[in-house]
């Protein structure tokens, strides 16, 4: 397994829609394992393939936060949101591609998602709470959408400028 570098906004690959995964190959399995390792190391609770520069509709997440609970690593391939609740919830979101920037984002509080697992089987699950927020944040990544796209233009521009400065500094280092 390899920790893969996470792309930082602005980057054209973070704004493109990713392509469906046709079949679960050895390469897809390796990607999923690398993404989980990269996510835990960040640390994060979710990660989408475009964030490591791979334009495939694959995301990983593990929103178990209690240290005394067993982790629940999940790999979702070609995920589709089948249903979203009317009720909405607000969460202060962050993003591993937009480090150290946080802002409140409102999303449907519960979603029903269908996806293909690494075993090639279709599965459906109802998510609520932080899992619902996270899976919607990750599926947005597969569609080239970032949480800052939900913010007012001035706030979004401010964050983008900070990331451009960060990238200039990292390039010099």
Where in the sequence numbering do the catalytic residues fall?
Answer: 138
Shortest Å, Cβ 9 to Zn ion = 9
Residues from 90 through 109 that contact Zn ion (CB under 5 A): 95
Closer to Zn ion by CB, 32 or 134: give it: 134
Check binding of 47 to Zn ion (CB under 5 A): no
Alpha carbons 51 and 64: distance in angstroms, whole number? 21
Closer to ligand K2U by CB, 10 or 94: give it: 94
Shortest Å, Cβ 80 to Zn ion = 19
Binding site for ligand K2U (CB under 6 A): 44-48, 91, 93-97, 133-134, 137-138, 141
Cis peptide before 89 (omega within 30 of 0): no
Closer to ligand K2U by CB, 100 or 119: give it: 100
Q: What is the DSSP string of the chain?
A: --PPPPP-SS-GGGSSPPBPP-S--HHHHHHHHHHHHHHHHTT-SEEEGGGGT--BSEEEE-----TTSPP--EEEEEEEEEEE-SSEEEEEE--TTSTT--EEEEEESEEEEEEE-TTS-EEEEEEEHHHHHHHHHHHHHHTT--GGGGS-HHHHHHHHHHHHHHHHHHHH-
Alpha carbons 98 and 151: distance in angstroms, whole number? 14
Shortest Å, Cβ 14 to Zn ion = 9
Considering only 27-35, 88-96, 107-115, 156-164, which stretch makes contact with Zn ion by CB under 5 A?
A: 88-96
Residue 101: contacted member of Zn ion, ligand K2U, none (CB under 5 to 8 Å, by partner type): none
Q: Which residues pair with 126 in a beta bridge?
A: 112
Q: Which residue is nearest to Zn ion (CB)?
A: 95
Shortest Å, Cβ 10 to ligand K2U = 15
Residue 93: contacted member of Zn ion, ligand K2U, none (CB under 5 to 8 Å, by partner type): ligand K2U
- Interface with Zn ion (CB under 5 A): 95
């Amino acid at each position: 397994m390899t920790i893969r570098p996470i792309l930082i906004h602005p980057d054209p690959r973070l704004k493109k829609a990713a392509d469906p995964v046709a079949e679960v190959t050895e390469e897809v399995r390796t990607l999923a394992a690398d993404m989980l390792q990269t996510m835990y190391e960040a640390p994060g609770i979710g990660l989408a393939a475009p964030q490591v520069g791979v334009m495939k509709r694959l995301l990983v997440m593990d929103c178990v936060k209690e240290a005394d609970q067993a982790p629940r690593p999940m790999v979702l391939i070609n995920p589709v949101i089948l249903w979203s609740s009317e009720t909405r919830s607000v969460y202060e979101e962050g993003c591993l591609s937009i480090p150290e920037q946080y802002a409140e984002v409102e999303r449907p509080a519960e979603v029903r998602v269908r996806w293909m697992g690494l075993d090639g089987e279709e599965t459906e699950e109802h998510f609520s709470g932080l899992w619902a927020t996270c899976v919607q944040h990750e599926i947005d990544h597969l569609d080239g959408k970032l949480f800052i796209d939900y913010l007012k233009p001035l706030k979004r521009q401010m964050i983008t400028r900070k990331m451009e400065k960060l990238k200039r500094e990292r390039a010099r280092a």
